[in-house]
């Protein structure tokens, strides 16, 4: 184990001082004093232009695209968006598809011309798709075949945006343009010039919280770029401290992408964070452990970041696999709690492999806290120490800051934070305590600054990295004519961390398959409860009349384990 020779505070101070590549200075942003990287690209447009090269960027199935090829494709699409679709600065362009190379091209094109790129969850059903379309009112949406079939407008409204279809034929009721045709018409066009400013809106990413419908978190070019550079600075800090230093490679750094690009873990941690270090991104349509093993060997993958359920699939499969996995250097990732034994399992998988994890949210642009190597083995229940461009504190129920070691709500503020929720001023008011964002996570920060997430204050289930609002599932359940009351909670699951569980008070028994079909029409597949208890008795309530979620959950877990 490395022995730290310098404190984290001193390392950050040294590496971010004047004249250093990661020099930080203070500036005013939205009436708040924040730390900014002096040498950061001003906008995502600049980041992309500075990252052009002939090195591999995206590998998907039999496709292999360099950074320059992706940029040229994005330039053609950007020209089409401006000329043929009338997209202007501030207009929304939505993306709804799986992890195809076209996702990255569309993201680069939209954000390069000052449009706001809106990430739709590819696992949404038609109701959430319809809601998001009405909420963000995009001028254009880029969709694959499965998502195209979910765009059929309900009778209540018309589809008011242009549609570009990817890897799909014509749809009988949705008018759309073919991706290849659109790009071919603008092939060779230079990237359009646009007056994009650092604090212009760049993205809207929908996130499920405690409220029913998803909320669109709006982030700026500056906040996203500062998340990327903060990860880079953290890597330098750990090397200076002797905690972990990435080995020198005789081949291109490579990340296996097994998480969706519509989450910040995909779009930020994988895609955007690959650009400056020129790391290639090997994309999977969806997680398959055998294919993952093959790709690690074939593409000499060095970094694998995913939810614990996925990394544990790989740890187990590696024990009997004949594939050469020796290129792997770092493996782990956030999205859900990773048990301490899983941390040590990654470390023991092979000598060259180092475990890592972190804590972040859509609202923080994926950064927050991070931990790797010897620190993670020492504190396997921790998600790490606070990023250099953020501040963290733990407060009691009155909003008073607590001392180290005391449990309360984790709050965060800083340069990488999102700007606001789209069209949700009431949500903004509830989300912030002054300039501090209320995370909804209960945490402890120890005297060395390591953060431990110990519980959730918000009523959400985190299933394999997907946040699921309990009351959204409850609302769908009580729409059923035989359901009187519903209580939704997280059930422990060895692979996914949690599965959705529900206890429902019914007027008559409901056939399980019939209830599932009813819910599939109203919820995304991952939101539909896997464990449902039906009872003919009213649900437990406290003196105030509030349903006792914790007690109902504890009772359900006890009975489940007796089965």
Q: How far is CA 480 from CA 126, 130, 164, 231, 257, in A?
A: 18, 21, 36, 47, 38
For the chain, what's the residue count?
A: 563
Buried b (16+ CB within 10 A) or exposed e, 303-316: bbbbbbbbbbbbbe
Question: With b meaning 16 or more CB within 10 Å and e meaning fewer, what string describes 334-360?
Answer: bbbbbeeebbebbbebeeebbbbbbbb
Structure tokens at 108: 């680069």
Kindly state the tokens that stand for 227.
């998340």
Q: What are phi and psi of 49, to 5 degrees?
A: -65, -35
- CATH code at 463-562: 3.30.300.30
Contact between 377 and 341 under an 8 Å Cβ cutoff? The reply is: no
pTM score, whole prediction: 0.87
Q: Angle at CA 275, nearest 5°, toward 274 and 279? A: 45
Q: Are 416 and 367 in contact (CB under 8 A)?
A: yes
Name the packing angle between helices 308-318 and 289-299 (round to 10°). Answer: 70
Exposed / middle / buried, residue 205 (Cβ in 10 Å: 0-12, 13-18, 19+): buried
The full 3-state SS of 114-149, as one line of letters, equals CCEEEECCCCCCHHHHHHHHHHHCCCEEEEEHHHHC
- Quick one: pLDDT at residue 485? 85
What is the Cα gyration radius of the chain?
23
pLDDT score recorded for residue 561: 66
Distance from chain centroid for Cα 186: 32
Element (H, E) at 108: helix 101-112
Sign of CA dihedral 240, 244, 248, 249: negative
How many whole angstroms separate alpha carbon 359 and alpha carbon 16?
22
Q: Phi and psi at residue 48, in whole multiples of 5°?
A: -65, -45
From-to residues of CATH 3.40.50.12780 in the chain:
8-39+219-456
Q: What is the rounded CA–CA span in Å between residue 280 and residue 170? A: 33
The residues with which 502 forms a beta bridge, in sequence order, are 488, 532
Please list the alpha-helical segments (H only) found in 138-220.
145-148, 179-184
> Residue 110 and residue 74: Cα distance in Å, rounded?
8
Q: What is the pLDDT of residue 199?
A: 97
Four-way CATH pick for 49-55+65-207: 3.40.50.1370, 3.40.1260.10, 3.20.20.80, 3.40.50.980: 3.40.50.980
Those residues with Cβ within 8 angstroms of residue 264's Cβ, 6 or more apart along the chain or in another chain: 205, 360, 361, 362, 365, 366
Of the candidates 283, 253, 362, 258, the one whose C-alpha atom is nearest the C-alpha of residue 104 is 283
Residues 6+ away with beta carbon under 8 Å from 473: 486, 488, 500, 502, 523, 527, 528, 529
Nearest to 200 by CA among 217, 223, 216: 223
| DSSP-derived secondary structure letter, 267 | I
Chain-centroid distance of CA 205 in Å reads 9
Rounded CA-CA distance 49/488 in Å is 47
Contacts 24+ apart (CB under 8 A), 433-437: 433/395, 433/399, 435/32, 436/393, 436/395, 436/411, 436/412, 437/363, 437/364, 437/411, 437/412, 437/413
pLDDT at 308: 82
- Six-digit token pair at 349? 């998988």
Q: Where in the chain is the domain with CATH 3.30.300.30?
A: 463-562
Residues 460/469, Cβ–Cβ less than 8 Å: yes
Domain at 8-39+219-456: CATH code: 3.40.50.12780
Report which of 24, 379, 509, 369 is spatially closest to residue 229, judged by C-alpha positions.
Answer: 24
3-class DSSP state for residue 551? helix
Per-residue pLDDT of the chain (563 residues; tens, 9 = 90+): 444 578 999 999 999 999 999 999 999 988 888 999 999 999 999 999 999 999 999 999 999 999 999 999 999 999 999 999 999 999 999 999 999 999 999 999 999 999 999 999 998 888 889 899 999 999 999 999 999 988 865 544 468 899 999 999 999 889 999 999 999 999 999 999 888 999 999 999 998 755 567 899 999 999 999 999 999 999 999 999 999 988 899 999 999 999 999 999 999 999 999 999 999 999 999 889 999 999 999 999 999 998 887 888 899 899 999 999 999 999 998 777 777 888 888 888 988 899 999 999 999 999 999 999 989 999 998 999 999 999 999 999 899 999 999 999 999 999 999 999 999 999 999 999 999 999 989 999 999 999 998 877 778 888 887 888 887 898 889 889 999 889 999 998 878 888 999 999 998 999 999 999 999 988 988 999 999 999 998 888 765 566 888 889 888 888 876 65
């Amino acid at each position: 184990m490395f022995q730290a020779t310098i404190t984290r505070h001193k390392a950050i101070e040294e590496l971010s001082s004047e004249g250093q590549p990661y020099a930080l200075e203070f500036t005013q942003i939205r009436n708040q004093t924040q730390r900014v990287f002096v040498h950061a690209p001003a906008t995502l447009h600049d980041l992309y232009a500075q990252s052009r090269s002939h090195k591999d960027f995206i590998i998907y199935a039999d496709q292999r695209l360099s950074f320059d090829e992706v940029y040229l494709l994005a330039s053609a699409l950007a020209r089409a968006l401006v000329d043929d679709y009338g997209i202007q600065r501030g207009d929304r362009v939505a993306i709804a598809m799986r992890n195809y190379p076209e996702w990255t091209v569309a993201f680069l094109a939209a954000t390069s011309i000052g449009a706001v790129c809106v990430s739709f969850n590819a696992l949404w059903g038609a109701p959430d798709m319809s809601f998001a379309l009405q909420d963000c009112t995009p001028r254009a949406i880029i969709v694959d075949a499965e998502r195209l079939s979910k765009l059929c407008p309900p009778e209540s409204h018309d589809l008011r945006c242009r549609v570009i279809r990817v890897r799909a034929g014509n749809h009988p009721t949705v008018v759309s343009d073919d991706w290849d045709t659109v790009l071919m018409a603008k092939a060779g066009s230079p990237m359009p010039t646009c007056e994009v400013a650092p604090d212009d809106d760049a993205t809207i990413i929908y996130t499920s919280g405690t409220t029913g419908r998803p909320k669109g978190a709006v982030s700026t070019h500056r906040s996203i770029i500062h998340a990327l550079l903060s990860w880079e600075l953290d890597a330098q800090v750990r090397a200076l401290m002797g905690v972990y230093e990435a080995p020198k490679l005789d081949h291109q750094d490579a990340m296996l992408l097994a998480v969706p690009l519509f989450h910040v873990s995909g779009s930020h941690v994988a895609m955007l964070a690959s650009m400056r270090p020129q790391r290639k991104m090997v994309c999977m349509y969806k997680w398959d452990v055998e294919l993952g093993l093959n790709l690690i060997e074939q593409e000499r993958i060095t970094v694998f970041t995913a939810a614990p359920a996925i990394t544990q699939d790989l740890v187990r499969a590696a024990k009997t696999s004949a594939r050469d996995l020796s290129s792997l250097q770092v493996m782990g990732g956030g999205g859900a709690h990773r048990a301490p034994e899983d941390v040590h399992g990654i470390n023991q998988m092979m000598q060259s492999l180092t475990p890592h994890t972190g804590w972040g949210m859509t609202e923080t642009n994926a950064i927050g806290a991070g931990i790797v190597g010897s620190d993670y083995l020492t504190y396997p229940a921790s998600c790490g120490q606070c990023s250099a461009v953020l501040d963290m504190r733990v407060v009691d129920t009155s909003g008073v800051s607590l001392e180290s070691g005391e449990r309360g709500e984790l709050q965060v503020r800083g340069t990488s934070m999102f700007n606001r929720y789209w069209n949700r001023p009431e949500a903004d008011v509830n989300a912030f305590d002054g300039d501090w964002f209320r995370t909804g996570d209960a945490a402890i920060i120890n005297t060395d600054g390591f953060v431990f997430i110990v519980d959730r204050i918000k009523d959400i289930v985190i299933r394999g990295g997907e946040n699921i609002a309990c009351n959204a599932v409850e609302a769908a359940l009580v729409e059923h004519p035989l359901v009187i009351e519903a209580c939704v909670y997280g059930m422990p699951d060895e692979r996914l961390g949690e599965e959705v569980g529900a206890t429902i008070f019914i007027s008559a028994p409901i056939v399980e398959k019939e209830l599932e079909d009813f819910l599939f029409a109203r919820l995304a597949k991952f939101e539909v409860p896997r464990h449902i208890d039906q009872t003919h008795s009213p649900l437990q309530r406290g003196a105030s009349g509030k349903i006792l979620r914790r007690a109902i959950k504890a009772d359900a877990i006890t009975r489940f384990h007796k089965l």
